[in-house]
Chains A and B, each alone.
Chain A
Amino acid sequence: AQSVTQLDSQVPVFEEAPVELRCNYSSSVSVYLFWYVQYPNQGLQLLLKYLSGSTLVKGINGFEAEFNKSQTSFHLRKPSVHISDTAEYFCAVSDNNDYKLSFGAGTTVTVRA
């Protein structure tokens, strides 16, 4: 079974500043990793995914994440945030034994002017 830990529950950040959201996972088999964003009163939107190959993954809206197998991490970064990036971000993992998504508790990002 896999599990996900998002190390920060809330991240306040100023507009145009960089942001990093930390995610660690545990799994005994090969994993697939995802980041989703949930805007207020909306569903989850896929930001990016790691299935295999290059460990640096680029997603939508200028986000990127790096898969680090030795540290079992998949941190999400954006070099310059906008007010519109205010949302909740979820890290999720699945594996090739059990394709269900296991989600972290979420990180609320609040971008201030």
Chain B
Amino acid sequence: DSGVTQTPKHLITATGQRVTLRCSPRSGDLSVYWYQQSLDQGLQFLIQYYNGEERAKGNILERFSAQQFPDLHSELNLSSLELGDSALYFCASSSGTGLAQFFGPGTRLTVL
């Protein structure tokens, strides 16, 4: 158990819908990272937050957004969902930038 929690574990929805994925980092970790894992793209970095502020952005679609709240939990919002958004979404946390990241169990999103 990494100490990073993610909810829900599974999510099934339809095209065009909007969903919110939630992540709670390890106690004391200030950095939260979001990654997408799909069969065709592999593991891709989406976005990083540090202590409530956006720190780095990867190949994140404009339909996707995230935020980190004062209690340091983070949410990833995915809207206007397409079939190709079906993937595993992982959250990771670290105590600072540049240090080892610890991953949550992931949310499996299926878009029908």
Contacts and interface: CB of A to CB of B under 8 A. Distances in A.
Contacts of B44: 103
Given A34-B100, A103-B42, A44 B90 contact: yes
A36 B103 contact: yes
Contacts of A44: 90, 92, 103
B45 interface: yes
A46 to B, nearest CB: 6
A43 B42 CA distance: 14
A51 B99 CA distance: 8
Interface string B65-109: 000000000000000000000000010100001111111111000
Contact of A100 (B56, B102, B105): B56
Contacts of B31: 99
Interface residues of A, number: 22
Nearest to A48: B100
Contact of A101 (B55, B101, B104, B105): B101
A45 B45 contact: no
Main secondary structure of the interface of B (DSSP, over half): strand
A42 B30 CA distance: 24
B48 interface: yes
Given A43-B2, A43-B106, A99 B90 contact: no
A3 to B, nearest CB: 12
Contacts of A49: 100
A92 to B, nearest CB: 8
A45 B103 contact: yes
A32 interface: yes
Nearest to B104: A43
Interface in A76-103: 90, 94, 96, 98-103
B33 A43 contact: no
Q: Looking at A32, A90, A101, A103, which has the most chain B CB atoms within 10 Å of its CB?
A: A101
Nearest to A92: B43
Interface in B27-72: 31, 33, 35, 42-45, 48, 55-56, 58
